Amino acid sequence: MTPQERILQLRKQLHEHNHNYYVLSAPTISDFKFDALLRELQELEDAHPEMFDPSSPTQRVGSDIAKGFKQVAHKYPMLSLGNTYSKSEVADFYERVKRALNEEFEICCELKFDGSSISLTYRDGKLVQAVTRGDGEKGDDVTANVKTIRSVPLVLKGSGWPAEFEIRGEILMPWKVFEELNAERERAGEPLFANPRNAASGTLKLMDPAEVAKRKLDAYLYFMLGEELPATGHYENLEAAREWGFKISDTTRKCRTLDEVFAFIDHFDTARKELPVATDGIVLKVNSLRQQKNLGYTAKSPRWAIAYKFQAERALTRLNEVTYQVGRTGVVTPVANLDAVLLSGTIVKRASLHNADIIEKFDLHIGDMVYVEKGGEIIPKITGVDTDARLLLGNKVKFITKCPVCGTPLVRNEGEAAHYCPNERGCAPQMRARIEHFVSREAMNIETIGPETVEMLFNYGLIKDITDLYRLQEEDFLLLPRLGAKSVDNLLAAVKQSCNVPFERVLFALGIRHVGATVAKRLVRAFGNIDAIMNASVSDLMAVDDIGERIAASVNGFFATPHNREIVEKLRAAGLKFEIEEEVLQGRTDILAGKSIVISGVFTHHSRDEYKDMIERNGGKSVGSVSKATSFILAGDNMGPSKLEKANKLNIRLVTEDEFLQMLAGTGE
């Protein structure tokens, strides 16, 4: 078999395995074997760039970075659905359809998925474009990001698909992924996503497809459009789509009577809670495409469909007290303490009030009867007050002006909703939470120290900040309850072991606001050591890929504080790593310092990712789109026509692959 034939064979096999795993949830080979096949394909493709194919399974890793999304007009506008919360309005809809058609009809009942809607275009069996809903007329071209979603087929299976068609559906972040993502963001001091819908649409709009790939999105499709669809019914078209490899929910049912429709609604009102993804209702669609056409559209939505939305579960209970929590970064969150009440199967005693503005909006008084809801969110929230139930007016809830723990006056930044306690070094919950973050698995991974141990060591005055961990001695523990000699040994060994943790994780562990694991990695790659990062100006920091003003200002501000520099020095003296590892460092130069380089086209000697890496290792910046600020374009074969045109217009130099390699070897210009 020639390498070319093997490439085609591997692509076919990998598409199949992807489908088995992500669509059917029934893999037929191990992850290990899958990875090995994918690696083999990647190597062959690297060696045979003439075989480049945008639909190859290797393209799901998302190496094709594009800054800013192109706006694309929808061929068919993306309409919304009429909404109702009441079954009697569902019955009205049914009667209206019956009267208008005056013949037999079927209603297709489906779940209403609560994510971010997307329209996919397939031409000759290949995914060519993925566009968000936008304003319904035009949306953002997020093709590179959608390609990273494993359940979206890049190449269709089977046969019989129209030469061109669109298929629409919902991009979702499964509950499990959502919860993990939020836990990670909490540890990094980043704002949390309120629900999986926001997380999915936020992820879809990330500029870095490689980052999107990590977020494990999923996609269900529920609507096909085109000139030559395979069947005359909506349900049957989706059945065909399932054969072509799309993920189509198997919960969909065709109903012949209103009673059957109601039975479907009642069943899923409870059953949906067991589903891996968020749903917020049921969609009813007249099944026959001919009948759909007969019924037509209003200006905003089809007359042949309606959405029945589930009532968010809500309970009424008494507000007894408002307390305040101080987080790692000092943000103060008001918490409503309630009379215990049963909500979606769990007992709720506390609910978030988010911030001062919300308290003001509801004009909250102690003793008020308040509505608590648990919708898409995991933390219940107060959504209203029953003012009629106010017999005696309790004290008005006033947001505190001083930190509930240390008494420092709170501050609120212009344009931000949150109040925070600025006493970073003296406010116990902030100090404790910083240590907890430092020892956590993603940071220094000092496993033996959980939150309870941190609390005990902190309360006994053995550790005040992270540097104290490295001064702990066996005798310090003599006075502590609960810790046996063995545990103490383990703990001290784990602390010592943490000196081997690579620099990027040490930087993350410092707990700088807005510096999560990925940002830390970027900074370490770009600057190499802590001194360079500490001395970087805001604009130096912003020159790094994906580091914006907010992050740059936070990093710069952190190291402008002498105390934080002292912490670094103490940790350095304790033996922690503050430099990038030797292997990564090798091959670093500043030959490309200050250069902003666009990579475009197909290459012979190295992959795109390798070139991107080389640019960064040699001090340059790899950017996605051509602008006045572009220093040159690293141009391979078949460079994109729009980039070429722009480069010519702006008079930007094209550098060939060989010229570029000479440049790095120091033999070119």
Q: Given the rule CB under 6 A, which residues bind ligand IVH?
A: 79-81, 110, 112-113, 117, 133, 170, 222-223, 283, 302, 305, 307
Q: What are the distances in angstroms from CA 626 to CA 490, 642, 647? A: 54, 9, 7
CB of 495 to ligand IVH, least distance (A): 50
What is the nearest approach in angstroms of ligand IVH to the Cβ of residue 294?
15
- In the complex with ligand IVH, the residue whose CB is nearer, 131 or 524, is 131
Q: Which is nearer to ligand IVH, 77 or 191 (CB)?
A: 77
Two tokens, residue 527: 């600057």
CB 268 within 8 A of CB 308: no
Q: Which of 168, 175, 176 is nearest to 146 (CA)?
A: 168
Task: Compute CA 593 distance to the chain's CA centroid, rounded to the nearest angstrom.
Answer: 32
Contacts of 532 (CB under 8 A, 6+ apart): none
Comparison of 78 and 443: residue with beta carbon closer to ligand IVH: 78
In Å, what is the CA distance from 81 to each residue of 143, 238, 293, 334? 25, 19, 16, 37
Other Cβ atoms within 10 Å of 531 Cβ, number = 13
CA 422 to chain centre: 29
Q: Which is nearer to ligand IVH, 283 or 444 (CB)?
A: 283
If you write DSSP's letter for every residue of 524-539 in order, what string do you get? HHHH-BHHHHHT--HH
Q: Rounded distance, CA 171 to CA 119, Å?
A: 10
Task: Identify each DSSP E strand in 451-595 by its residue range.
Answer: none
Tokens representing 581 are 């590892």
Contact by Cβ (8 Å): 343, 316: no
Strand order in the sheet with 116-123: 126-132, 116-123, 164-172, 218-225
**Which of 292/554 has CB closer to ligand IVH?**
292
In the numeric block, the tokens 């009532």 are attached to 311
Q: Which residue is nearest to ligand IVH (CB)?
A: 117
Cβ nearer to ligand IVH, comparing 261 with 305: 305
- Least Å distance, CB 396 to ligand IVH, is 39
**CB 202 → ligand IVH: shortest distance, Å?**
16
5 is written with which tokens?
Answer: 């034939």
Tell me how far, at minimum, the Cβ of 258 lies from ligand IVH, in Å: 19
Nearest-approach distance from CB 146 to ligand IVH, in angstroms: 15
Structural element, H or E, at residue 599? strand 596-600
Instruction: Report the distance separating Cα 207 and Cα 629, nearest Å.
Output: 19
Q: Which is nearer to ligand IVH, 239 or 455 (CB)?
A: 239
Query: Cβ of residue 126: shortest distance to ligand IVH, in angstroms?
Result: 24
Q: Which of 12, 67, 75, 112 is catalytic?
A: 112
In the complex, least distance from residue 266 CB atom to ligand IVH, rounded to whole angstroms:
18
433 in Cβ contact with 328 (< 8 Å) = yes
DSSP state of 75: S
- Closest distance to ligand IVH from the beta carbon of 339 (Å): 36
- Identify the bridge partners of residue 482 per DSSP, sorted by sequence position: none
State the Cα angle at 594 between 590 and 595, rounded to 5°. Answer: 95
Q: What's the CA gap between 182 and 194, in Å, rounded?
A: 9
| 222: its two tokens | 């529920």
Active site residue 33: no
Contact 186, 101 (CB under 8 A): no
- Give whichever of 152 and 443 is closer to ligand IVH, judged by the CB atom: 152
Residue placing its CB nearer to ligand IVH in the complex, 51 or 225:
225
Residue 224 β-bridge partners: 167
As measured in angstroms, the least distance from the Cβ of 281 to ligand IVH is 8
CB-based contact 193:199 (threshold 8 Å)? yes
C-alpha closest to that of 376 among 524, 92, 611, 172:
172
* Sign of the torsion angle spanned by Cα atoms 528, 529, 534, 535: negative
Instruction: Output 272 or 643, the one with its CB closest to ligand IVH.
Output: 272
Enzyme catalytic residues: 112
